[in-house]
Structure formats: C-alpha cells, structure tokens
A and B are shown apart, each in its own frame.
Chain A
Amino acid sequence: EVQLLESGGGLVQPGGSLRLSCAASGFTFFNYAMTWVRQAPGKGLEWVSSISGSAASTYYGDSVKGRFTISRDNSKNTMYLQMDSLRVEDTAVYYCAKELTGPYVLIDLDSWGQGTLVTVSS
C-alpha cells in the first residue's frame, strides 16, 4: 500500500524558513515523479513544485520560484521542500503526492499524503 507522510509544518514568522519532508513507502520511490500542492485556508488548490524521479528536473509555480527548493533523496525514499523567505500568503496545508504513471512530471497524482499545516504569522 502506498503511503505518504508529510512532516515539518508549523508556525514561522514572515521571512523565516521551514523544511517539509515527505516520507514514502509501498512503491519504488525513484520510479515516480513527486509533487507538492498546497491549499490556503478557504482557498483552492495551488500547484507548488514538482520533481522528476531521478531529481534531474525540478519545476516551480510562479508564486514560490526563487524562494522554495524541492529535492529528493531516493536512498531515503523522501522528498523535501525547503521554504525560505516565507510570506503570510504561504500559509496553507501542504500536500505531497505521487505521480500516477512514472518518473516524469505530468501532475496526474494518484496518491496523496494527509497534509501538513504551515502557518506564517508574526
């Protein structure tokens, strides 16, 4: 059974940093691209960032480009999201998700974690 478990969320001040982790199990991790999606309170879903199975390719939404860095450690079956220069508008539940078909990013996400809440506030 595929399991994705996010961790690392919490309260941080504007301008601060946080690193989210997504621990994966139940599938061959390096064979699948992975993605972070967020949902701000009362708002819709927003694509944040994606990474290919090999980590050779990374992609970012405009609102986080230059501030967030996605990475993965295939030896640890874990994906990360380093979030720097955090803003109040980054407050959201952050979900990690697995690609349906393989190592390339298509945003066809068939398995999701339960999410971790990031709150940016002074």
Chain B
Amino acid sequence: QSALTQPPSASGSPGQSVTISCTGSRSDVGGYNQVSWYQKHPGKAPKLMIYEVTKRPSGVPDRLSGSKSGNTASLTVSGLQAEDEADYYCISYAGSNSWMFGGGTKLTVL
C-alpha cells in the first residue's frame, strides 16, 4: 500500500484561504466517507481537525472545513492565521481493517 498523496507544501498570506488535497483511490478515499485530517506542530502531538470528511470536533474553528470529490479529499483553511502554520496529514480507511496516512503537507503562513 502506498501513502495517500498530499502536496509537500502549501502557503498563503494571513487572511487568505488555502486548500490541501489528499488523493487516493476507489479503494480508500473514494470508497469510504472515513477521511480525517490532523494538524501537527513540531514536537507536539497531532490534533484532530476534521473527521468523517466534513465534521469538526468541538473546539476546532469553522475556518477549517473538509470535503471530498471522487478519490480526492480536501482541507480548506480560511482566514489564515499565524497559528495555522503546521504540518497537516490526512488519513483514510483503506478497507480490510486498515488505515493509511497521507505523506503530509507543510503549511506556511507568509
């Protein structure tokens, strides 16, 4: 199994919107509505930002949103803020009781 494909980097200025993609196949992203997104700052534990493609856990601002089209899931961060600068990882159910992370995207706030 190969990791889900994410762009290595993304960037935007404060206040702008940025979308990070997560591309898989019909066997994972496209086949199930079980895509989650995690934010990770260096040296810190990951934080759940989006689950089941579009849902936000309590405490996550509505500036973050998730979506899916075909085999690609996306995370959109609107109204970029300095604290959004971090690594972002998608993960999808891949069938047969297995899950697969994306390679991660480093988001830079310019």
Binding site for B on A (CB under 8 A): 37, 44-47, 50, 57, 59, 61-62, 95, 97, 100, 105-110, 112-115
Q: State which size class the interface on B falls in.
A: 20 to 34
Report the Cα distance A61→B101, complex, angstroms.
11
**Which residues, 48 to 65 on B, are CB-close (under 8 Å) to A?**
48, 51-52, 57
| Chain B interface residues toward A at CB < 8 A | 1, 3, 34, 36, 38, 40, 45-48, 51-52, 57, 87, 89, 91, 93, 97-104
Are the CB atoms of B36 and A108 closer together than 8 Å?
yes
B58 vs chain A, min Cβ distance (A): 9
- Looking at the assembled complex, report how far the CB atom of B89 sits from the nearest CB atom of chain A, in whole angstroms: 5
A12–B56 Cα distance when bound, in Å, is 39
Q: How far is the CA of A107 from the CA of B47 in the complex (A)?
A: 12
